[in-house]
Amino acid sequence: MDSLQMGVTGGQMPIQEQRKGGVSGSTIKIIAVVTMLIDHFAAAILMRMLVVRGIYSLPSDYRGIMRWLAENGVLYYGMSALRMVGRLGFPIFCFLLVEGFQKTHDLRKYTLRLGLFALISEIPFDLAFSAKVLEFNYQNVYFTLFLGILGLTAFDFFGKKELGAGLRGLFTAAGILLLPLYAGLLLYRRLSGWPFVPDGGMLFPLIFGVLLTLMLIFYVVYRNTKGADRAWRTCADLAVLALAMFAADFLRTDYGGMGVLTISVMYLFRQKKVICMLAGCIVLTLMSFSEIPAFLTLLPIAFYNGKRGLKMKYFFYAFYPVHLLILWLIAVVMGMGWIATI
- The pLDDT assigned to 228 comes to 60
Quick one: which of 105, 101, 177 has its CA closest to 146? Answer: 101
- The pLDDT assigned to 191 comes to 59
- Buried (b) or exposed (e) across 131-158, using 16+ Cβ within 10 A? beeebeeebbbbbbbbbbbbbbbbbbeb
- The pLDDT assigned to 211 comes to 61
Is residue 288 scored above 80 in pLDDT? Answer: yes
Is residue 10 scored above 50 in pLDDT? Answer: no
- The pLDDT assigned to 109 comes to 94
Question: Confidence band (pLDDT; 50, 70, 90) for 77?
Answer: very high
Contacts of 280 (CB under 8 A, 6+ apart): 91, 94, 95, 262, 263, 265, 266, 294
- The pLDDT assigned to 207 comes to 57
pLDDT tens profile 207-233? 556 666 666 666 555 555 555 666 667
**44-51 average pLDDT score:** 96
Say what percent of the chain tops pLDDT 70: 73
Residue bearing the bigger pLDDT, 159 or 58: 58
**Residue at 262: amino acid letter:** T
Could you tell me the CA-to-CA distances from 20 to 10, 41, 213, 254, 295 in Å, in that order?
A: 26, 35, 42, 36, 25
Of these ranges, 60-69, 113-122, 229-238, the one predicted with the greatest mean pLDDT is: 113-122
Say what percent of the chain tops pLDDT 90: 53
Is residue 14 scored above 60 in pLDDT? Answer: no
Question: Confidence band (pLDDT; 50, 70, 90) for 84?
Answer: very high
- What is this structure's pTM? 0.82
Question: Confidence band (pLDDT; 50, 70, 90) for 199?
Answer: very low
- The pLDDT assigned to 168 comes to 63
**Cα distance between residue 274 and residue 322, in whole Å:** 31
Q: What are the phi and psi torsion angles at 20 (to 5°)?
A: -75, 155
Question: Confidence band (pLDDT; 50, 70, 90) for 313?
Answer: confident
Least confident range from 61-75, 219-233, 258-272, 277-291: namely 219-233
Work out the mean pLDDT of the chain and round it to a whole number: 83
- The pLDDT assigned to 13 comes to 42
- The pLDDT assigned to 169 comes to 64
Is residue 262 scored above 70 in pLDDT? Answer: yes
Could you tell me the CA-to-CA distances from 134 to 37, 218, 326 in Å, in that order?
A: 21, 46, 17
Question: Confidence band (pLDDT; 50, 70, 90) for 275?
Answer: very high
**20-45 average pLDDT score:** 92
Could you tell me the CA-to-CA distances from 49 to 2, 75, 83, 101, 334 in Å, in that order?
A: 47, 8, 15, 40, 9
Burial class (CB in 10 A: 0-12, 13-18, 19+), 307: middle
- The pLDDT assigned to 197 comes to 43
Question: Confidence band (pLDDT; 50, 70, 90) for 65?
Answer: very high
| Bridge partners of residue 23, in order along the sequence | 304
